[in-house]
């Protein structure tokens, strides 16, 4: 079996989908021959990549007649491929991640998503993503769930010693207990909700360290997008993955009551991330419900768990595929400030009660989530789709 992987999310670009695409392709390449048609930023425009997609797929298939299956790595590129011609005799599989299912464009929801039934199989990264697809008319028989993996390197040694971290971030008081958030500042992550509803009610010596992309000042793009009609603004920001919560976070961090408890460090080196996570009292992922958006899979929760951190996350969407309650983290009702306050105060006041369980949570994540497990599950699915029973073997089996 030979496989053609088609993706517009691939290194050197960075991000969760780029990482998943890279690990999937390279994991399967150790087992069977693979061919790549991936977008490489800088070599051509994304628009040109999409325009030439059909002809380039046909060219690769002509050059490699042994290809039996094509994999499209997200719903956007699969939507375009619905209008292709010349290769429908080849098995076609799509991975859906979450936003590419719930994206609130009426034409996409009514005219495009139901046509995903034309594909031979659909792989959802979480049960929540699968359910969202079924609710939108995709046949349940066509969908299976394969969770994303996680980089085990975050559990390994090599991080920067804690005492050296202070040289990079003198504003921190790492002698005090602290908790951590990590991720892009988009509304569904719930960062502004956490700052507004929970942080001000925590003890005065509570310290929250926020990590991830962040602009401390407003940008020209932010100004331009703000003049768009509300509905258009939402569609554009969702499509671009724009930091829709950043302005609200920036405003909240000017509040003295919040500012005294919170430090936003922006993006930090991987070794610093390991250190800050492994020495924190807890990692927080306070996601909230946002119409037209969803958390397809809680990858950052797994990264924090592997770093040896207590994970406390919202019991919502794909997070529940990454974190299993009291197995590798603690799940709380999304948007319930009282529940969050009670739990964070308990961890803050009685850290020794959680010390022992963190190691068991880390072990569970290591045993049940990896890129190897993900790639193996994909390959098994691909083989089932392309397997053809041999009449000779069936006769032989009966006689035997």
Q: What is the pLDDT of residue 157?
A: 65
Question: Is residue 98 within 8 Å of residue 123, measured between CB atoms?
Answer: no
More confident of the two residues 28 and 396: 28
- The boundaries of the domain holding residue 171 are 152-368
Residues 176 and 138 in one domain: no
Backbone angles phi, psi at 268, to 5 degrees: -130, 160
In sequence order, what are the residues at sequence separation of 6 or more whose Cβ sits closer than 8 angstroms to the Cβ of residue 329?
A: 301, 305, 310, 311, 312, 313, 323, 361
Write the pLDDT tens digit of every residue in 231-248: 887 777 777 777 788 999
Residues 177 and 323 in one domain: yes
Residues 173 and 141 in one domain: no
In sequence order, what are the residues at sequence separation of 6 or more whose Cβ sits closer than 8 angstroms to the Cβ of residue 208?
A: 178, 179, 180, 181, 194, 199, 261, 262, 263, 284
The mean-pLDDT minimum among 150-154, 360-364, 395-399 falls in: 395-399
Per DSSP, the residues of 350-384 read -THHHHHHHHHHHHHHHHH--HHHHHHHHHHHHHH
Q: How many domains does the chain have?
A: 2
Rounded Cα distance between 101 and 104, Å, is 9
Q: What is the pTM of this model?
A: 0.86
Strand order in the sheet with 262-266: 262-266, 208-211, 179-182, 282-285, 311-314, 330-332
Residues 128 and 206 in one domain: no
Residues 130 and 195 in one domain: no
- Where do the H-state alpha helices sit in the chain? 16-29, 46-51, 53-63, 75-81, 99-102, 106-107, 127-135, 162-168, 191-197, 220-226, 230-240, 246-252, 256-259, 270-278, 299-306, 319-322, 337-349, 352-368, 371-386, 391-399
Q: Specify if 399 maps to a domain.
A: no
Per DSSP, the residues of 2-46 read EEEEEES--TTS-SHHHHHHHHHHHHHHTTS-EEEEE--BTTB-H
Rounded Cα distance between 311 and 302, Å, is 8
Q: Specify if 208 maps to a domain.
A: yes
Q: Specify if 222 maps to a domain.
A: yes
Cβ atoms within 10 Å, residue 145: 16
Q: Specify if 400 maps to a domain.
A: no
Residues 47 and 79 in one domain: yes
Residues linked to residue 283 through DSSP beta bridges, in sequence order: 180, 311
Mean pLDDT over each residue of the chain, to the nearest integer: 89
Percent of the chain topping pLDDT 70: 96
Q: What is the pLDDT of residue 158?
A: 64
Residues 25 and 135 in one domain: yes
Q: Specify if 330 maps to a domain.
A: yes
Identify the DSSP state of 130.
H
Cβ atoms within 10 Å, residue 228: 13
Residues 184 and 327 in one domain: yes
Give the CATH number, domain containing residue 255.
3.40.50.2000
Residues 145 and 13 in one domain: yes
* Angle between the N-to-C axes of helices 352-368 and 299-306, in degrees from 0 to 180, rounded to the nearest 10: 120
Residue reference for tokens 């325009």: 51
Q: What is the pLDDT of residue 397?
A: 31
């Amino acid at each position: 079996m030979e496989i053609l992987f088609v993706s517009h999310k691939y290194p050197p670009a960075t991000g969760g989908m780029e990482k998943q695409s890279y690990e999937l392709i390279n994991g399967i390449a150790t087992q069977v021959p693979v061919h790549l048609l991936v977008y490489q930023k800088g070599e051509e425009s994304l628009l040109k990549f999409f325009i030439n997609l059909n002809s380039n797929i046909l060219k690769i298939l002509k050059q490699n007649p042994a290809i039996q299956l094509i994999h499209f790595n997200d719903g956007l590129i699969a939507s375009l491929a619905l209008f292709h011609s010349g290769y429908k005799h080849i098995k076609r599989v799509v991975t859906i991640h979450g936003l590419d299912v719930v994206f609130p464009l009426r034409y996409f929801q009514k005219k495009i998503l139901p046509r995903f039934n034309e594909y031979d199989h659909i792989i959802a990264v979480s049960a929540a993503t699968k359910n969202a697809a079924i609710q939108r008319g995709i046949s349940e028989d066509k969908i299976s769930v394969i969770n994303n993996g996680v980089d085990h390197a975050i559990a390994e040694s090599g991080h920067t010693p804690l005492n050296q971290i202070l040289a990079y971030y003198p504003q921190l008081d790492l002698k005090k207990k602290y908790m951590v958030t990590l991720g892009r500042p988009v509304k569904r992550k719930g960062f502004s909700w956490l700052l507004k509803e929970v942080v001000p009610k925590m003890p005065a010596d509570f310290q929250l360290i926020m990590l991830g992309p962040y602009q401390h000042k407003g940008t020209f793009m932010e100004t331009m997008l703000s003049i768009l009609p509300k509905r258009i603004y939402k569609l554009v920001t969702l499509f671009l993955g724009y930091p829709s919560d950043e302005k609200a976070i920036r405003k909240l961090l000017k509040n003295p009551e919040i500012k005294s408890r919170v430090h936003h460090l922006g993006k930090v080196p991987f070794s610093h991330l390991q250190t800050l996570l492994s020495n924190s009292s807890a990692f927080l992922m306070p996601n909230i419900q946002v119409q037209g958006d969803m958390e397809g899979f809680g990858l950052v929760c797994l990264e924090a768990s592997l770093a040896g951190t207590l994970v406390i996350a919202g019991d919502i969407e794909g997070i529940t595929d990454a974190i299993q309650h009291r197995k590798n983290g603690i799940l709380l009702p999304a948007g319930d400030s009282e529940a969050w306050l009670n739990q964070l105060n308990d961890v803050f006041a009685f850290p020794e009660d959680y010390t022992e369980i963190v190691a068991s949570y880390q072990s569970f994540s290591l045993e049940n989530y990896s890129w190897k497990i993900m790639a193996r599950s994909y390959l098994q699915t691909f083989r089932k789709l392309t397997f053809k029973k041999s009449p000779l073997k069936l006769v032989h089996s009966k006689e035997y």
